[in-house]
Amino acid sequence: MKHLAKQLVEKQPVYEPGRPIEDVARELGLDLRSIIKLASNESPFGPSPMALEAAREALTNGHRYPDGNATHLKEKIAETLSLKPEQLVLGNGSNEIIELLGHAFLRKGDEAVMGKSAFIVYKLVTLLFEAVPVEVPLAGHRHDLRAMADRITDKTRMVFLPSPNNPTGTANEESEILAFARDLPPHVVFVFDEAYAEYLDSPPDLRPLIEEGRNVVCLRTFSKIYGLAALRIGYGYGSAEWAALLNRVRQPFNTNAVAQVAALAALDDRKFVSECRRRTREGKEQLERGLAAAGIEFVPSEGNFIMIKVGDGRAFFERMQREGVIVRPLDGYGLSEFVRVSIGTAAENERFVRTLESFKSSSD
């Protein structure tokens, strides 16, 4: 049926996800339990017990359609962020919000400005709507907001900024982000991706921009610190006008009932979240010590992952995989000398570091 498909479908690049443990076990004939996955920036600490309990209970109503408006969850998020529920849009992961932004705003030939080694979904969605990705090189692995501002034209419709960025782990300062956003012309939608905001001590606050009536949208997810990646739930917030637009282009039941109640309970379990944050920091220090001892360069990270310089990233990824450790190669991001390692439990981090050391001693 190839010839029946739209041309852009054949040209569309394919997203390469972190490899699932089951696939690797099957391919390499390894025991499932001997494999660790540090490849998708998932929380190794799992969901909060409160979220699990809520999810289990929601399953008994599995025969009912979910609340398409996610009323309770929106109220809870709005309360947490001092917003109005009408300013929120829920998505099947925040990735879906990125796609909905494309539906609502990207026309053929529009330009979308993004970092060259930014989260790759921005580029994929831009291409899907026949818009043009304008990729701006990072400076020192950090988004270069001046260079991005220089690439804004009459055709620019959207600008993406993730901070911290995935995969580089770098973040931009609140003051430079606010100044950048205030300088954007009124025909541009500024998309600020806060997938890792909860790992920061004081994440940039863009709500003043929204209050000023600027075209600013922020994205958050329950896939990272809240440990609900499998349930696929995230959200965007902006003006009520923006949210009303996006709600017209989404499917009526885009987020499921189990995810909605689990996310709500996860927000309530603040103690669990701060514990996850603390353990992630400790894990980061543990990995950093191990990398330093092995003489491996890394980019200091503000997220729950570290980008490390290994020479041939693809070869390193394969070698680690044979030892039962799944990391993420980054050649798709134009970073072929690097891999990305998600911060795991203390035992997983230890295993990664010991595997690194074994590489070193076998090549000495």
Residues interacting with ligand PLP, by CB under 6 A? 41, 93-95, 119, 162, 166, 193, 195, 221, 223-224, 229, 234
- Pick 145 or 356: Cβ nearer ligand PLP: 145
Identify the CA nearest to 223 among candidates 214, 211, 235: 235
- Pick 181 or 356: Cβ nearer ligand PLP: 181
**Given its phi and psi angles, is residue 62 left (phi above 0), alpha (psi -120 to 50 degrees) or beta?**
alpha
- Pick 55 or 229: Cβ nearer ligand PLP: 229
- Is the preceding omega at residue 162 within 30 degrees of 0, hence cis? no
- Pick 117 or 223: Cβ nearer ligand PLP: 223
Within 8 A by CB and 6+ apart from 65, the residues are 253, 257
* Angle, CA of 77, 175 and 161, to the nearest 5°: 60
Work out how close the CB of 196 gets to ligand PLP at its nearest, in angstroms, rounded to a whole number. 7
Work out how close the CB of 227 gets to ligand PLP at its nearest, in angstroms, rounded to a whole number. 11
Cα–Cα distance measured from residue 69 to residue 247, given in angstroms and rounded to the nearest whole number: 9
Work out how close the CB of 88 gets to ligand PLP at its nearest, in angstroms, rounded to a whole number. 14
Identify the CA nearest to 280 among candidates 24, 5, 34, 38: 38
- Is the preceding omega at residue 208 within 30 degrees of 0, hence cis? no
Work out how close the CB of 165 gets to ligand PLP at its nearest, in angstroms, rounded to a whole number. 7
Work out how close the CB of 359 gets to ligand PLP at its nearest, in angstroms, rounded to a whole number. 27
Work out how close the CB of 305 gets to ligand PLP at its nearest, in angstroms, rounded to a whole number. 9
Work out how close the CB of 47 gets to ligand PLP at its nearest, in angstroms, rounded to a whole number. 14
- Is the preceding omega at residue 164 within 30 degrees of 0, hence cis? yes
- Pick 299 or 356: Cβ nearer ligand PLP: 299
- Pick 258 or 356: Cβ nearer ligand PLP: 258
Nearest residue to ligand PLP by CB is 93
- Pick 162 or 290: Cβ nearer ligand PLP: 162
Cα–Cα distance measured from residue 39 to residue 42, given in angstroms and rounded to the nearest whole number: 8
Q: What pairing do the DSSP bridges indicate for beta strands 156-162 and 132-136?
A: unpaired
Identify the CA nearest to 197 among candidates 228, 167, 217, 171: 171
> CB of 168 within 8 A of CB of 299?
yes
